Amino acid sequence: MPNTNPQFIPFTRPSFNQETIDAVSEVLRSGWVTSGPKLAEFEATLSAYFGGRPVRCFANGTATMKIALQVAGIGAGDEVITTPISWVATSNVILGVGAKPVFVDIDPITRNIDLNKVAAAITPNTRAIMPVYLAGLPVNMDQLYALAKQYKLRIIEDAAQAFGSQWQGKKIGSFGDLVSFSFQANKNLTTVEGGCLVLNNAEEAKLAEKFRLQGLTRQGMDGMDVDVLGGKDNFTDVNAVIGLQQLKQLPAYQTRRTALARQYFDAIRTQLKSAGLENLRLELPLENFNDSNWHMFQVVLPLDQLQVDRAQVMTELKDLGIGTGVHYPAITDFTLYKNQGYKTSDTPVAQRIGRSILTLPLFPAMQDEDIGRIASGLVRILKKHHKN
């Protein structure tokens, strides 16, 4: 349940303008509310945004990634290399198609999969790598696609958090193999729920359409046939008009997120200094203002230097009216995964970061003053519980 205290700063909050509300009303009044002309318009607009590559939309990011795996023909007996520090959807979809997730440890600086450790995890059954761009920071795309080429692997990018992120001036999604985005309410561009997949060609797009709707081959009502096992993962015109409006607002959102992230670096460093806590290891994010879309601003708490755990820090921040989140505990710490024999101790960096990472509030509607309040609140709490 959302906190209704007006002074409370949640860790994220979507922004919708009046134009968006009007566009939704118009669809609701039009008599056609599910997948239709607005979906086609949104997909065409996204395709243009991604430099002309085909794009198809789905009910959510999870369905988008599942269909990406299906389009790539990944299933029973196949292994997919991924990261343990992600939303559990990433590996759930791998299990869902009958394949096996293989977790490679993360890089402590980027908090993304450590591409230098991928080669050692490749077996004859490896079919794909599924990297995640945590907080919107991409991996080294040159290195990723060099691995794909060398080992003849598919790449399914879990770019759920990376809409608007870039690599060397090119938008994530405008190049590469299969690239999956989420439009869930917390994401930088939201359609309330939804997702989109950027594909390589018209054939893949056709296949994705079939998986999206019961495997129907679209040949008019009389010629209806089903030739693959599809689901019900279609995207509606109501969601599509929200997405079209959000795309118009995205540049302004991005400017605001970037400005707020810059303020965080300044404010946290200033507060640590004035509290005499220069030696506290509060791993700030990589200061990458070219590539990241600043989906989140995360610190890693120095639990070995504190007398309290992360939950206590979060509770005390909440008492100050500051919402935080954990993105994410290592997937291998979940019972489902433990029961399959996965051990988080096999990925020690992910183990440490999964237990101590903390997401601070960051969303376009935040005020400049909020950053100062959050930074001073956080540093005050850390000082109180510092072991010295």
Ligand X SMILES: *Cc1c(COP(=O)(O)O)cnc(C)c1O
**Which of 272, 360 has the CB closer to ligand X?**
360
Give least dist CB 327 to ligand X, A.
8
**Residue 187 appears among annotated catalytic residues:** yes
- Decide if residue 234 touches ligand X (CB under 6 A): no
Provide the token pair at 378.
């956080």
| Active-site residue, from 38, 171, 187, 210 | 187
Q: If binding means CB under 6 A, how many residues of this protein chain bind ligand X? A: 14
Each as own residue / partner, the long-range contacts of residues 8-11 (CB below 8 Å, 24 or more positions apart, any chain) are 8/321, 8/322, 8/323, 9/321, 9/322, 9/323, 9/361, 9/366, 9/370, 9/373, 9/374, 10/323, 10/361, 10/363, 11/323, 11/324, 11/325, 11/359, 11/360, 11/361, 11/362
Q: Closer CB to ligand X, residue 102 or residue 160? A: 160
Residues 138, 326: Cα–Cα separation, whole Å: 20
Site string for ligand X, 90-129 (x = CB under 6 A): x---------------------------------------
The 308-347 site mask, x for binding ligand X (CB under 6 A), equals ----------------------------------------
**Which residues are CB-neighbours of 16 under 8 A, at least 6 positions away?**
242, 245
Token pair 């669809």: residue: 27
* Nearest to ligand X of 364, 377 (CB atom): 364
Rg (CA), the chain: 21
Closest approach, Cβ 181 to ligand X, in A, equals 9
Instruction: Write down the least CB distance from residue 287 to ligand X, Å.
Output: 22
Question: Residues 173-192: x/- map of binding to ligand X (CB under 6 A)?
Answer: ---------x-x--------
Quick check: 87 binds ligand X (CB under 6 A)?
A: yes
* Other C-beta atoms lying within 10 Å of the C-beta of residue 249: 16
What are the two backbone dihedrals, phi and then psi, of residue 177, each rounded to the nearest 5 degrees? -100, -115
**Subset of 43-62 contacting ligand X (CB under 6 A):** 60-62
> Shortest distance, CB of residue 160 to ligand X, whole angstroms?
3
**Residues near 210 by beta carbon (within 8 Å), at least 6 away in sequence:** 216, 217, 227, 228, 230
Closer residue to ligand X (CB): 159 or 272:
159
Residue 132 binding ligand X, by CB under 6 A:
yes
156 touches ligand X by CB under 6 A: no
86 binds ligand X (CB under 6 A): yes
- Other residues' Cβ atoms within 10 Å of the Cβ of residue 334: 17
Task: Kindly state the smallest distance separating residue 202's Cβ from ligand X, in Å.
Answer: 25
Q: Which residues contact 258 (CB under 8 A, 6 or more apart)?
A: 289, 294
Q: Which residues sit at the interface with ligand X, rule CB under 6 A?
A: 60-62, 86-87, 89-90, 132, 158, 160-161, 182, 184, 195
Tell me the catalytic residues: 187
